[in-house]
């Protein structure tokens, strides 16, 4: 296996271009199952997860062709309606084929994704919503075996908590249902909006984009899509935090500042200067007298969009270990998303976990020192990269396949900012 090696303590400077959003590319690929034809998706990132999803689609009979960041998916001939365990277990987002397969074929057999490092990750809201639309779902042998005996009927679907893929899966199920479906307490993430735009371009009739109340008027037919994936807001936030953590300055391009309202506010409160254009964000430290900047310690609490994103919690914690005071980080979305804490502590971080909250005692901008650490999940691993970049000395990060799930060309992008980072065999 490979590890990532970082010689830390070098301020990052320069420009980095953001790739398409992983968490938009996956549902938009699934949506091409809804109707036969040659679909075109643009700005698709080349990641472990997108490659896995393409394999899943090909397993269903979809023909795929990639030219740079343009992905062509021809879903004319589907050969079956099953998503097997060996594929789903490596990427839980595979559950997103459930809704479109039921809408297109009237049946679907999808392996239950099972838990993952950050939590149990149930899909009860997905099942509840499908049953409200008239789908029969049987859970047996670790699979959801679902089918309809008559066309799906529109209904009211209420989410106890806003679920991103739950909203996406059920939108794709409802667009071809008879009648109208109303979603209440739906997720409002930008990736859901990207999917709604694509479905409406395909001929669907969905109202309420960006709100928690969506109305879907069922239609009889959809047409092949030509759609562009939005920039990855989590990758954007990861690079902004990395630049800040190293005491550097830089510009993140090809991104959408409007998708990061909470993070930009927190970084400004912590003392950073943030500039925005419609597709770039620049970050720097105000001119200062002392050699090292003084980073403010600012609390966060993760919430559904537009609150602070749980997918940027670990990265922010790495930054706050360098703060000049104490702050509290509260994780409200997942039950076990503090696994980066033990690894950060190996690098000298002072953090105390108490239930869903972590109390971080900042040790100043040179508070971390390099060490061998282990990645446990996608976003925890990116927080270790940030810590390694900020720390003095060398950091070796093992199990970097986690990182490759969600960060395109990570080594090239960091090197372009002046980082000393490379891969080695374990």
Residues 6+ apart with CB under 8 A from 266: 298, 300, 308, 316
48 binds ligand EPZ per the rule CB under 6 A: no
The CB-of-325 to ligand EPZ minimum distance in angstroms stands at 28
- How far CA 254 is from CA of 76, 123, 229, 270, in Å, comes to 33, 33, 12, 24
The CB-of-164 to ligand EPZ minimum distance in angstroms stands at 4
d(CA 7, CA 9): 7
For residue 247 the two structure tokens come to 């005491």
Q: Which is nearer to ligand EPZ, 132 or 379 (CB)?
A: 379
Q: Which is nearer to ligand EPZ, 18 or 371 (CB)?
A: 18
378 binds ligand EPZ per the rule CB under 6 A: yes
164 binds ligand EPZ per the rule CB under 6 A: yes
**Count of residues interacting with ligand EPZ (CB under 6 A):** 24
Q: Which is nearer to ligand EPZ, 124 or 279 (CB)?
A: 124
Phi, psi (5° rounding) for residue 168?
-65, -45
Please identify, among the stretches 20-28, 58-66, 69-77, 249-257, the one whose residues bind ligand EPZ according to the rule CB under 6 A: 20-28
Catalytic residue among 116, 137, 227, 327: 116
Q: Name which of 275, 218, 212 is nearest 243 in CA terms.
A: 275
23 binds ligand EPZ per the rule CB under 6 A: yes
Please identify, among the stretches 31-39, 115-123, 204-212, 356-364, the one whose residues bind ligand EPZ according to the rule CB under 6 A: 115-123
d(CA 124, CA 234): 26
Bond from prior residue into 306 cis (ω within 30 degrees of 0):
yes
406 binds ligand EPZ per the rule CB under 6 A: yes
Q: Which is nearer to ligand EPZ, 332 or 361 (CB)?
A: 332
The helix (run of H) or strand (run of E) holding residue 111 is: strand 107-111
DSSP string, 178-236: BSEEEEES----HHHHHHHHHHHHTT-EEE-TTSSEEEEE--S-----EEEPPB-HHHH
Of 43, 236, 280, 310, the one binding ligand EPZ (CB under 6 A) is 310
d(CA 297, CA 327): 5
Binding site for ligand EPZ (CB under 6 A): 22-23, 26, 93, 119, 121-126, 161, 163-166, 187, 310-311, 333-334, 378-379, 406
Instruction: List the catalytic residues.
Output: 116
């Amino acid at each position: 296996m490979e590890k990532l090696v970082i010689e830390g303590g070098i301020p990052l400077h320069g420009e980095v271009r953001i790739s398409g959003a992983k968490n938009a590319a996956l549902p938009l690929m699934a949506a091409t199952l809804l109707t036969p034809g040659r679909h075109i998706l643009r700005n698709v990132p080349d990641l472990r997860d997108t490659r896995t999803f393409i394999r899943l689609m090909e397993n269903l009979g979809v023909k795929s062709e990639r030219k740079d960041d343009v992905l062509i998916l021809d879903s004319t001939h589907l050969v079956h309606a099953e998503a097997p365990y060996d594929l789903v277990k490596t990427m839980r987002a595979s559950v997103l084929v459930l809704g479109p397969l039921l809408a297109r074929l009237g049946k679907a057999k999808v392996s239950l994704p099972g838990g993952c490092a950050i939590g149990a990750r149930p899909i009860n809201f997905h099942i509840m919503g499908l049953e409200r639309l008239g789908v029969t779902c049987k859970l047996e042998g670790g699979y959801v075996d679902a089918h309809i005996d008559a066309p799906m009927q529109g209904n009211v679907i209420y989410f106890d908590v806003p679920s991103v893929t739950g909203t996406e899966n059920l939108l794709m199920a409802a667009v071809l249902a008879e009648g109208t479906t109303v979603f209440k307490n739906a997720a409002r993430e930008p990736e859901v909006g990207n999917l709604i735009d694509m479905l409406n371009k395909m001929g669907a009739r969905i109202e309420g984009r960006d709100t928690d109340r969506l109305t879907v008027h069922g239609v009889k037919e959809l047409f092949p899509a030509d759609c562009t994936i939005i920039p990855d807001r989590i990758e954007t936030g990861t690079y902004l935090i990395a630049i800040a953590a190293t005491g550097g300055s830089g510009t993140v391009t090809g991104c959408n500042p409007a998708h990061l309202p909470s993070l930009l506010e927190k970084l400004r409160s912590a003392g950073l200067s943030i500039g925005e254009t419609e597709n770039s964000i620049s970050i720097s430290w105000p001119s200062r007298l002392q050699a090292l900047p003084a980073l403010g310690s600012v609390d966060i609490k993760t919430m559904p969009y537009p609150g602070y994103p749980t997918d940027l919690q670990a990265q922010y914690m790495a930054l706050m270990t360098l703060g000049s005071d104490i702050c509290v980080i509260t994780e409200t979305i997942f039950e076990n998303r503090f696994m980066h804490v033990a690894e950060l502590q190996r690098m000298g971080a002072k953090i105390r976990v108490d239930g869903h909250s972590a109390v971080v005692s900042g040790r100043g901008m040179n508070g971390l020192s390099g060490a061998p650490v282990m990645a446990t999940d996608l976003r925890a691993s990116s927080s270790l990269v940030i810590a390694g970049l900020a720390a003095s000395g060398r950091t070796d990060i093992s199990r970097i396949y986690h990182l490759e799930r969600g960060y395109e060309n990570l080594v090239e992008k960091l090197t372009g900012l002046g980082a000393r980072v490379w891969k080695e065999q374990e």
